[in-house]
Chains A and B, each alone.
Chain A
Amino acid sequence: MKLAGIFLLLAGWGIVLAAVILLAPSLAQTWFALAGIGVEGLGLALLMRSHRVMRVARG
């Protein structure tokens, strides 16, 4: 779960960079970038959850 979280963080960043490189400044570019930030949010949530689960498992 931890690795998946890190992967999602990197993937989200990649999406934002792709928006900057591939699209001209426009509303579509902003939405594309916001989607990337959303993926990063999922990665962060997964990382948070993985640490909480690990802590509970350790007692």
Chain B
Amino acid sequence: MTPIQPPAISDANVVLLIFFIALVPLAIAGISLINTGFGRSRSAAHAMLAPLAVFGVAVGVYFICGFAWQGYMGGPAHSALVAGKSWSLLGAGPFFLRGLELGGTAASLAVWLQMLSVSLAALIPLGAGADRWRLSASCASTALLAGWIYPLFAHWVWGGGWLAQLGVNYGLGRGFVDAGGTASIQVVGGLTALAVAWILGPRHGKYSSEGMPTAIPGHNAVYILFGCFLALLGWLGLHSAGAILFTGVEPGRAVLISINTALAAGSAGLMAIVLTRWRFGRPDVSISANGWVGGLVAIGAGCALVAPAAAVLIGLIAGALVTFSVELFEARFGVDDPGGAISVHAVAGIWGLLALGLLVPVTESGQWMAQLVGVATLLGFVLPLTYGLNLAMNLVCRYRVPPEGERQGLDLYELGAGAYPEVASHPDDFTPPGFAGKPF
């Protein structure tokens, strides 16, 4: 087996990478705003506090053990011999980043990017659990994601693991390619969102006794749409830094990456606007915003490899998939996902991973098969793992707030104060059930 070596990085490129990685927190801010806008006003402060808490837990756990288990290309790892081929299964670095040179080496830049990436992945399930997920439980779930699920899969893809080695070991193209974190960040986060939505169940009043879904609109469309613009900036940094660090493309390719990212987001957003206009008679803000982010997610895998025209196609199909998928999950599958996290991050992400295998210029055969193996691993291994771990955690630390907490809103129930204390737009927040007094 030929070991995969980390790309060499010059001093000038270190500065460039630091700039790209510094943009990534804007993606975190964007997703936080989007999740908050999709939730109810009575849980708005909670929806903005949860990302801060989740960020703290994610970077802390990743610092303690996450990076040790994820490892980096060329670093120490636990391997197994499978049918005569070496499969790298898990990183074997020291805990607490001990012994790692944090002075601009490829490994040190990878640590920084990964800390932000794991936080972004941990934020995604918050959109699916909005208005009913306890703060402490979301932190506990994040610890599982940052300590186990994310490092394991990210090692396989970005740490020189067996998925990355599919090309070397089995002649499948370049091995599983995920330049911008579509699989490791978005689909892992999206599948965790699905697991959390299953465990929590739908919000009170979401479904009628006949099982028909009712609309519970988000409380602030401006947050959602401004979050989309912030997300674009963050994703530009994420895709550029990820592609340079993990797939070894030259830094000048950041121009193509940025063009592809912008094209995919724009075309996906437009597709969602057109489709909702066609289906409902006027454009739907929330689904259009979801389409935009779906485009960002879908282009990540191939952002450095596909041509701009292919990026437009990837975006258009991602926008259509998100539009129909949101409705499918809500109406057909009975999954209450207020932020559309499952459709945006899991469905669009899986499309992006497969699209890379279909649309990348043909230089090496077997790329499609390598992408298929990666998608099968996400569905067949990561989903059962994250579902099982979260189900077990739900027994230890109850995920859902009691009905009273949901009625009051998470702001009053968990934080003791609302985000908008001067605006009492929900009289039932402050009125006990059965109260028949005259309104003021």
| A interface list, Cβ under 8 A from B | 6, 9-14, 16-17, 20-22, 24-25, 29-30, 33-34, 36-37, 40, 43-44, 47-48, 51-52, 55-56, 58-59
Contacts and interface: CB of A to CB of B under 8 A. Distances in A.
B369 A48 contact: no
Contact of A9 (B211, B335, B384): B384
Closest 10 CB pairs of A and B: A13-B380, A16-B376, A52-B334, A48-B333, A40-B379, A25-B366, A9-B380, A6-B384, A21-B83, A51-B198
A22 to B, nearest CB: 8
Interface residues of B, number: 31
Contact of B383 (A9, A16, A20, A21): A9
B371 to A, nearest CB: 10
B387 interface: yes
Given A9-B383, A25-B171, A59-B209, A16 B333 contact: no
Contacts of B333: 48, 51-52
Given A6-B387, A33-B372, A59-B209, A20 B166 contact: yes
B172 interface: yes
B1 interface: no
B392 interface: no
B214 interface: no
Interface of B: 82-83, 166, 170-172, 198, 201-202, 207, 209, 211, 333-335, 365-366, 368-369, 372-373, 375-377, 379-381, 383-384, 387-388
A27 to B, nearest CB: 10
Contacts of A55: 201-202, 207, 334
Contacts of A47: 198
A33 B373 contact: yes
B197 to A, nearest CB: 9
B198 A37 contact: no
Given A10-B384, A44-B379, A52-B334, A16 B172 contact: no
27 contacts: A6-B387, A6-B388, A9-B384, A12-B376, A13-B377, A13-B381, A16-B372, A21-B170, A22-B83, A24-B171, A25-B171, A25-B365, A25-B366, A29-B369, A30-B368, A30-B372, A33-B373, A36-B380, A37-B372, A37-B376, A40-B379, A48-B335, A51-B333, A52-B333, A55-B334, A56-B211, A58-B201
Contact of B379 (A13, A17, A22): A13
Contact of B380 (A16, A21, A22): A16
Contact of B373 (A6, A11, A16, A58): A16
